[in-house]
Amino acid sequence: MGIAADIAIIVVAGLIGGVIAQQFKQPLILGYILAGVLVGPHTGGVTVGDIHEIELLAEIGVALLLFALGLEFSFKELKPVRHVALIGTPIQMILTIVYGYGLGWLLGWDWIASVWFGSLISLSSTMVLLKTIDEPGPARHALQLRL
């Protein structure tokens, strides 16, 4: 199979994962993550063939996600929750980096790899949270009530 077949597999799996997440009234991103796990190279059944090409596409996708979030960023909308955003976000990021560092340490990684791992988790979790807040549905309302 070529890259076109891999993309088709990923799109169909994402669609199915999104539908399943909607049926259970969960954020779409959970369905997408589940789909990614199911078609990943380390699971049985239908999987992607060329892992390296898909990784390159995933990096482009992350860059586009960050770009899209940057386009939607508004200081006006951030003003009502500025205290939570300005205090809570750095605390969340630092705690997530520490958690990732601890996990890396438990896995026997050196301190540089552990800090990078924690930083990666911190940025990823922040972007997922922003995307979840942006998504309509019960998850958005629950998160907005907490803010």
The predicted structure's pLDDT at residue 101: 94
Measured between alpha carbons, how far is 119 from 96 in angstroms, rounded to an integer? 8
Give the pLDDT confidence of 92-144 residue by residue, as tens digits: 889 989 999 999 999 999 999 999 988 888 877 666 666 666 666 554 444 45
Residue 85 has pLDDT above 80, yes or no: no
pTM: 0.54
Q: pLDDT value at position 109?
A: 93
**How many Å apart are CA 99 and CA 41, to the nearest integer?**
27
pLDDT given for residue 130 in this prediction: 63
| Phi, psi dihedral angles at 48 (to 5 degrees) | -75, 150
Angstrom distances, CA of residue 95 to CA of 81, 84, 115, 122? 20, 15, 12, 8
Give the CA-trace dihedral at 147, 90, 58, 113, to 10 degrees.
-150
Q: How many CB atoms lie within 10 A of CB 74?
A: 8
Contact 51, 41 (CB under 8 A): yes
